[in-house]
């Protein structure tokens, strides 16, 4: 028989030290952790449910349609026959803002080659004609019958082709970026009715010392507080952040970016959305982890995205819309990070221009590679209550803004033929 080993005697506890009951302590900790997690999830789901309910209320109580009050077309007068320049097929080289002195007028700014032009268009109420397939028809073509109101603004400081233009939130600054990411900024006096004239008083050559590699599409937007400039560069796969004319950070993107927009729902002005390849990513330049990327989602079934738009409507600031080669308008809530709606087959061809309506929640303006622009409801996934119109050539840029009175939208686009189309809409509640 083998001798059994005697059990090891327990060492007596040290004086003044009480040995805890470990199994009971583990049970107490596990119970406390489970209780904390349940309370946290309950509170988080409560906040999310409340936010979703408020968002649903805003959309449900929103307008049932969009009425077009005026629709006009005008012709640009270029300085040479070399215009318009081709640019990238998804480049946004048009922007619009409402004039302060006239409540029913706007000024459209376009970029071609290395030059920028501006044209004033009157959008007073009038009967809008409809043609084939109920498409809108412009009621007047002032540029073809009389002297056009277009004027030359300025040439780009580097002499290279402008890839994108955008306005600051108050339309007091105009940003133009070339194919290497160099930015020129024009300024104007907001509230006195003066338009942009030249780069005098602005900033030229922002990022000129950071030029490297090959040229390609670039886009520039300004933060909500108008202190930072975000420059997306497709060839470098990066977004450069500038404070004034000084680069403060370079954020590397996973894929080549094709559009950028500042998220209104973010705290401060540091949150912006970028479509890169088939993914939508949201960045915060205050975060060091993960290269500043707060979240990303794959969309489009590996087909590239070309356009992104962030909501400006009160109560819907956390909505982001994007579209691309799949011809689907994706609507996402950045708080829950999931696709709320997918408006399929919004256009015949790839979506290259996308704008969410500010005064009519639930509606969006979409344009593709062809000459058609659609206004439809992304909640019902139909064009019921919206409208459509056609240009005489493919779109070179599309942009929207609120009217001076704030009760409607102004949508303006620039076609390859040199014609500018602008219309004024108001929400229809019944």
- For residues 410 and 400, the answer to whether their CB atoms sit within 8 Å is yes
The model's confidence at residue 63, banded by pLDDT at 50, 70 and 90, is confident
Q: In sequence order, what are the residues at sequence separation of 6 or more whose Cβ sits closer than 8 angstroms to the Cβ of residue 353?
A: 90, 92, 307, 365, 366, 367, 368, 373, 395, 397, 398, 413
**What's the pTM value of the predicted model, to 2 decimals?**
0.83
Q: What is the mean pLDDT of residues 53-70?
A: 76
Q: What is the mean pLDDT of residues 191-200?
A: 74
Q: What pLDDT, on a 0 to 100 scale, did the predictor assign at position 25?
A: 42
In a domain, 259, yes or no: yes
- For residues 241 and 210, the answer to whether their CB atoms sit within 8 Å is no
Q: What pLDDT, on a 0 to 100 scale, did the predictor assign at position 86?
A: 85
Provide the token pair at 411.
Answer: 């949508």
Same domain, 83 and 217: yes
**Domain of residue 114, CATH code:** 2.130.10.10
Q: What pLDDT, on a 0 to 100 scale, did the predictor assign at position 50?
A: 41
| Structural domain count of the chain | 2
Tell which wins on pLDDT, 155 or 338: 155
Phi-psi region of 340 (alpha: psi -120 to 50; beta: other; left: phi over 0): alpha
Same domain, 369 and 300: yes
Q: What is the mean pLDDT of residues 370-379?
A: 93
The total of other beta-carbon atoms located within 10 Å of residue 339's CB is 15
Same domain, 247 and 310: yes
> Distance between CA 76 and CA 412 in Å, rounded?
13
Same domain, 56 and 190: no
Mean pLDDT of the chain: 83
In a domain, 376, yes or no: yes
Same domain, 211 and 185: yes
> Distance between CA 254 and CA 85 in Å, rounded?
30
**pLDDT reading at 279 higher than 60:** yes
In a domain, 279, yes or no: yes
**pLDDT reading at 145 higher than 50:** no
Q: What pLDDT, on a 0 to 100 scale, did the predictor assign at position 34?
A: 46
Write out the residue range of the structural domain in which residue 393 sits: 63-428
In a domain, 344, yes or no: yes
Same domain, 141 and 33: no
The model's confidence at residue 357, banded by pLDDT at 50, 70 and 90, is very high
Q: In sequence order, what are the residues at sequence separation of 6 or more whose Cβ sits closer than 8 angstroms to the Cβ of residue 15?
A: none
Q: What pLDDT, on a 0 to 100 scale, did the predictor assign at position 2?
A: 54
Query: Which of 61, 84, 114 is a domain's end point?
Result: 61
Provide the token pair at 141.
Answer: 């073509």
Q: What pLDDT, on a 0 to 100 scale, did the predictor assign at position 245?
A: 87
Sheet order of strands, 94-98 included: 94-98, 105-112, 115-122, 150-155
The model's confidence at residue 353, banded by pLDDT at 50, 70 and 90, is very high
Q: What is the mean pLDDT of residues 46-69?
A: 66
Q: What pLDDT, on a 0 to 100 scale, did the predictor assign at position 235?
A: 93
Q: What is the mean pLDDT of residues 382-409?
A: 92
In a domain, 280, yes or no: yes
Q: What pLDDT, on a 0 to 100 scale, did the predictor assign at position 130?
A: 87
In a domain, 101, yes or no: yes
- Within a 13 Å sphere around the CA of 245, how many CA atoms are in the beta-carbon half? 11
Q: What pLDDT, on a 0 to 100 scale, did the predictor assign at position 54?
A: 55
Which residue, chain included where needed, has tokens 């794959």? Answer: 298
Which residue, chain included where needed, has tokens 């370079």? Answer: 250
Same domain, 41 and 87: no
In a domain, 2, yes or no: no
- For residues 377 and 68, the answer to whether their CB atoms sit within 8 Å is no
Q: What pLDDT, on a 0 to 100 scale, did the predictor assign at position 26?
A: 45
Same domain, 238 and 300: yes
Same domain, 76 and 45: no
**How does pLDDT run across 19-48, given as a tens digit for each residue?**
544 445 444 444 543 443 343 334 344 444
Same domain, 228 and 91: yes
Same domain, 43 and 183: no
Query: Which of 37, 61, 85 is a domain's end point?
Result: 61
Same domain, 68 and 34: no
> Distance between CA 14 and CA 210 in Å, rounded?
67
Tell which wins on pLDDT, 368 or 14: 368
* Percentage of residues of the chain with pLDDT beyond 90: 50
In a domain, 16, yes or no: no
Q: What pLDDT, on a 0 to 100 scale, did the predictor assign at position 64?
A: 86
Instruction: Please state the three-class secondary structure of the chain as a single string.
Output: CCCCCCCCCCCCCCCCCCCCCHHHHHHHHHHHHHHHHHHHHHHHHHHHHHHHHHHHHHHHCCCCEEEEEEEEEEECCCCCCCCCCCCCCCCCCEEEEECCCCCCEEEEEEEECCEEEEEEEECCCCCCEECHHHCEECCCEHHHHCCCCEEEEEECCCCCCEEEEEECCCCCEEEEEECCCCEEEEECCCCCCCCCCCCCCCEEEECHHHCCCCCCCEEEEECCCCCEEEEEECCCCEEEEEECCEEEEEEECCCCEEEEEECCCCCCCCEEEEEECCEEEEEECCCCHHHHEEEEEECHHHCCEEEEEECCCCCCCCEEEEEECCCCEEEEECCCCEEEEEECCCCCCCEEEEEECCCCCCEEEEEECCCEEEEEECCCCEEEEEEEEECCCCEEEEEEEECCCCCCEEEEEEECCCEEEEEEEEEECC
Provide the token pair at 210.
Answer: 């950071």
């Amino acid at each position: 028989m083998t001798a059994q080993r005697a059990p090891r005697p327990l060492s007596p506890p040290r004086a003044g030290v009480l040995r805890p009951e470990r199994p009971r302590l583990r049970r107490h900790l596990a119970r406390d952790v489970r209780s904390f997690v349940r309370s946290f999830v309950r509170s988080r789901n409560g906040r999310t449910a409340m936010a979703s309910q408020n968002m649903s209320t805003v959309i449900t109580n929103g307008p049932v349609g969009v009425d077009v009050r005026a629709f006009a077309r005008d012709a640009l007068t270029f300085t040479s026959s070399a215009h318009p320049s081709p640019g990238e097929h998804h480049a946004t080289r048009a922007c619009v803002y409402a004039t302060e002195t006239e409540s029913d007028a706007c000024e459209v700014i376009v970029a071609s080659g290395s030059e920028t032009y501006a044209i004033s268009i009157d959008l007073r109420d009038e009967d809008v004609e409809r043609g084939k397939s109920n498409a809108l028809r412009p009621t007047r073509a002032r540029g073809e019958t009389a002297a056009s109101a277009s004027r030359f603004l300025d040439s780009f400081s580097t002499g290279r082709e402008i890839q994108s233009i955008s306005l600051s939130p108050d339309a007091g600054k105009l940003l133009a970026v070339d194919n290497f990411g160099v930015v020129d900024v024009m300024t104007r006096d907001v509230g006195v009715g003066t338009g942009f004239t030249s780069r005098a008083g602005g900033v030229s050559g922002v990022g000129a010392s950071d030029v490297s590699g090959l040229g390609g599409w670039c886009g520039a937007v300004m933060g909500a507080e108008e202190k930072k400039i975000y420059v997306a560069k497709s060839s470098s796969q990066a977004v450069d952040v500038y404070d004034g004319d000084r680069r403060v950070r370079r954020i590397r993107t996973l894929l080549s970016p094709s559009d950028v927009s500042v998220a209104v729902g973010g705290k401060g002005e540091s949150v912006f959305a970028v479509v890169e390849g088939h993914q939508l990513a949201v960045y915060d330049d205050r975060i060091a982890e993960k290269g500043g990327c707060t979240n990303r989602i794959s969309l489009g079934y590996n087909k590239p995205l070309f356009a992104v738009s962030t909501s400006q409507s009160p109560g819907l600031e956390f909505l982001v819309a994007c579209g691309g080669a799949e011809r689907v308008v994706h609507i996402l809530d950045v708080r829950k990070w999931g696709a709320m709606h997918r408006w399929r087959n919004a256009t015949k061809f790839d979506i290259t221009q996308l704008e969410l309506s500010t005064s009519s929640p639930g509606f969006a303006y979409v344009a593709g590679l062809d000459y058609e622009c659609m206004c439809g409801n992304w909640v019902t996934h139909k064009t019921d209550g919206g409208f459509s119109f056609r240009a005489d050539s493919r779109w070179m840029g599309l942009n929207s803004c609120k009217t001076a009175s704030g009760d409607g939208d102004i949508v303006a686009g620039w076609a390859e033929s040199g014609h500018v189309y602008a219309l004024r809409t108001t929400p229809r509640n019944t």
